Structure 1
Amino acid sequence: MQGLAQRVTALRPDLVNGDATFGELAWNWGRGHGDEGPNWRHRLWFSGGAPVAWAWARLPREAADGAYLSYQVHPGHAGLVDAVIDWYDATAAGLERTVLPSAADAFALERWAAHGYTADLAALGEHGSWTQLNERDLTDVAPPRLPDGYRFRTADEAGPEATAAAHAAAWGSSTYTADTYRGVRRAPGYRGDLHLLVEAADGTMAASTVLWLDEPNRTAEFEPLGTHPEHRRRGLARAMLLHGMRLARAAGATQATVACLGAPGHPQARELYHGTGFRELTRDAPLIRPGSTGPAGGTG
């Protein structure tokens, strides 16, 4: 799946779906989503021994909730999107179904519409959940400046417990533990020297991010990035981005990418990334098909 992400990135980076980037796949799989059994269903399509499409459906634990699909189709095999849709409809039959194709993928959007999927107006609202992918080149990256009392560390230096605590605090997660982090370390493409943290004077890991280096495409992806609530608005995230980009450039990358929520009601991350030179590359186009039960009505 990561290999397909790399091949699509090389051909048409605007067609890489938000949940299908090299780093996002590694992050999600490493956190244990691949082990969640019947609630995560997978299907891959191959040509000449190489995957040219995949689908990853998340089914709800409660029937009243909806299903969600992440997927990717190689642009040279675009017609497989119909097979992806058919598989998803069969796998999540009767449920409300959502999906986030790239807004640049005109062919896929046409095929989803032909199968009864329409714009998800709730997701497209003021505080909607769609994301945009941002990019910038690494030819001119300003030096980072941390406030007094803070210093850069790496996950290799900090160790699993402190690294996991940094992410859990930044994202308010009660399920991200040192064991979860060890799963991330096993994900293809992970490098502990590119898993960056900012340490406060008292030893607290105040911010963290993982850089995923796609060597064939010479691209580095920040995923995820977050700051401890008690250390926000001090410029830590900006400094960590600049530090990360300079490390990525030293590792051979020429481009950096980062995703963020794109709806108007979520300006903070977007303003941070735009303030460090990133610009929108592509964005999600949230789609929905009502299920046969529940408040959405309709037929499955």
Structure 2
Amino acid sequence: MTIALRTPTVAELAAALDVLASWQTEEAPFQLHPGDIGWFWRHGPEAAAAAVRTWSRDGSLVALGLLDEPDLLRLAIAPGAHQDHELAQQLADDIADPDSGVLPAGTVTLEVARDVLLHDLLDENGWARVDPWPILHHDLASVDEHGLRIQVITEQEASVWAHVHGAAWGGGPSDEAAVEARWHRFAGGPAFANARCLVGWDQEDNAVATVTVWAAGPGRHGIVEPMGVHPDHRGKGHGRAMNLAAASALLEMGSTSAMVATPGSNVGAVAAYEAAGFRSLYERLDRRRDS
């Protein structure tokens, strides 16, 4: 059977996200999550559709990729196809061919779950293993109290989220309107039906941190993407508190666990997750092809 590569339309993305959600089981390795595409939706639905690539066999989705950057592909493979040689070869060929529309020529990066057959073909083709990312897991069996007042952000409170998130990621007051517009875009996407956007308030009634969590449906793992603390309120344990709030929200939504990947070089983020009960499962190495 032929494996077909295509770029979906906006109208087709919701169905593809449902399939991707079904792959997020505890038995499957950590890989691209519907929440990753949900967060990318901040760029708008047309941009989200243009950044997705799907591989289907006999009408069934077997792999899905997100071009999170023009030279970075984040890839998910159907749980039953991790050792599928035909699929691995097709993926390797499409990733290597600039004319396929997956990755351009030159230096590019691929994020893919460990222990899939594709890695063997990448090794043969000279792709390096780079940039360790700890994969952190919270089993949600016991979640500590976080100590903040948590506000679930709706359309009416988007400006609060924009103020905290924008500042946490280096923006200023003049950027807040654009950041708020991005909130409205990703909140209008299909993945946000399984998401919550939270802002934490301290005892002095300051909005100090924000986090967005993305579930994949009951009985599956959810992810944290992104979490940030306002720079005026760092060093007070608010990162830990928001990660605990994130875990609590995912538990309420029926997730079996909370997961996150963060660069190993970001020791502060790793420490904040670990302080909230996340535990490192392993380090994932990205793959890079140099020009």
Band the TM-score falls in, shorter-chain normalisation: 0.7 to 0.9
2:123 aligned residue (113, 138, 143): 113
Where in structure 2 are the equivalents of 1:7-46 lying within 5 Å?
A: 7-10=22-25, 12-14=27-29, 16-17=30-31, 20-28=32-40, 30-32=41-43, 35-36=46-47, 41-46=51-56
Equivalent pair of 2:22/2:216 in contact (CA under 8 Å): no
Over residues 275-296 of structure 1, what are the superposed CA-to-partner deviations in whole Å (9 max), with x where a residue is unaligned? 22111234322222222xxxxx
Over residues 248-271 of structure 1, what are the superposed CA-to-partner deviations in whole Å (9 max), with x where a residue is unaligned? 323323322222222xx3211111
Where in structure 2 are the equivalents of 1:45-194 lying within 5 Å?
A: 45-57=55-67, 60=70, 67-77=71-81, 78-79=84-85, 80-91=87-98, 92-102=103-113, 104-120=114-130, 123=131, 130-146=132-148, 151-156=149-154, 159-173=157-171, 174=175, 177-190=179-192, 194=196
Equivalent pair of 1:55/1:84 in contact (CA under 8 Å): no
**Equivalent residue letter for 2:256:** T
Shift of 1:227: 0.3
- Give the TM-score normalised by structure 1: 0.77
Distance change (3 Å), C-alpha of 1:157 and 1:139 = farther
**Equivalent residue letter for 1:13:** A
CA distance in 2, matches of 1:52, 1:235: 42
Shift of 1:231: 0.5
Shift of 1:181: 0.6
Equivalent pair of 1:118/1:289 in contact (CA under 8 Å): yes
Shift of 1:170: 0.8
Distance change (3 Å), C-alpha of 1:214 and 1:106 = closer
CA distance in 2, matches of 1:221, 1:50: 25
Shift of 1:158: 5.9
- Give the TM-score normalised by structure 2: 0.79
Where in structure 2 are the equivalents of 1:251-290 lying within 5 Å?
A: 251-262=253-264, 265-290=265-290
What percent of counterpart residues are identical?
23
Distance change (3 Å), C-alpha of 1:191 and 1:2 = closer
Q: Which residue does 1:242 correspond to in 2?
A: 244
Shift of 1:27: 0.9
Over residues 167-188 of structure 1, what are the superposed CA-to-partner deviations in whole Å (9 max), with x where a residue is unaligned? 1111114585211111110222
More displaced 10-residue stretch of structure 1: 193-202 or 222-231: 193-202
Shift of 1:202: 7.3
**Equivalent residue letter for 1:117:** W
1:225 aligned residue (219, 224, 227): 227
Equivalent pair of 1:4/1:52 in contact (CA under 8 Å): no
Equivalent pair of 1:155/1:192 in contact (CA under 8 Å): no
Distance change (3 Å), C-alpha of 1:34 and 1:285 = farther
Distance change (3 Å), C-alpha of 1:58 and 1:84 = farther
- Between the two proteins, the alignment pairs up a number of residues equal to 265
**Equivalent residue letter for 2:281:** L
Q: Which residue does 2:9 correspond to in 1?
A: none
Give 5+ residue unaligned stretches, structure 1. 61-66, 124-129, 292-300
Equivalent pair of 1:206/1:231 in contact (CA under 8 Å): yes
**Equivalent residue letter for 2:232:** E
Shift of 1:201: 6.8
Where in structure 2 are the equivalents of 1:202-217 lying within 5 Å?
A: 204-217=206-219
SS in 2 for 1:45: strand
CA distance in 1, matches of 2:202, 2:138: 29
Give 5+ residue unaligned stretches, structure 2. 1-15
Equivalent pair of 1:42/1:57 in contact (CA under 8 Å): yes
Distance change (3 Å), C-alpha of 1:204 and 1:144 = closer
Shift of 1:35: 3.5
Equivalent pair of 2:158/2:180 in contact (CA under 8 Å): yes
Equivalent pair of 1:54/1:84 in contact (CA under 8 Å): no
CA distance in 2, matches of 1:36, 1:137: 34
- The RMSD of aligned alpha carbons is 2.9
More displaced 10-residue stretch of structure 1: 106-115 or 188-197: 188-197
Shift of 1:196: 0.8
Over residues 96-135 of structure 1, what are the superposed CA-to-partner deviations in whole Å (9 max), with x where a residue is unaligned? 1221222x32522111112231223xx3xxxxxx423211
CA distance in 1, matches of 2:194, 2:217: 16
CA distance in 2, matches of 1:186, 1:245: 23
Equivalent pair of 1:185/1:192 in contact (CA under 8 Å): no
CA distance in 1, matches of 2:66, 2:251: 32
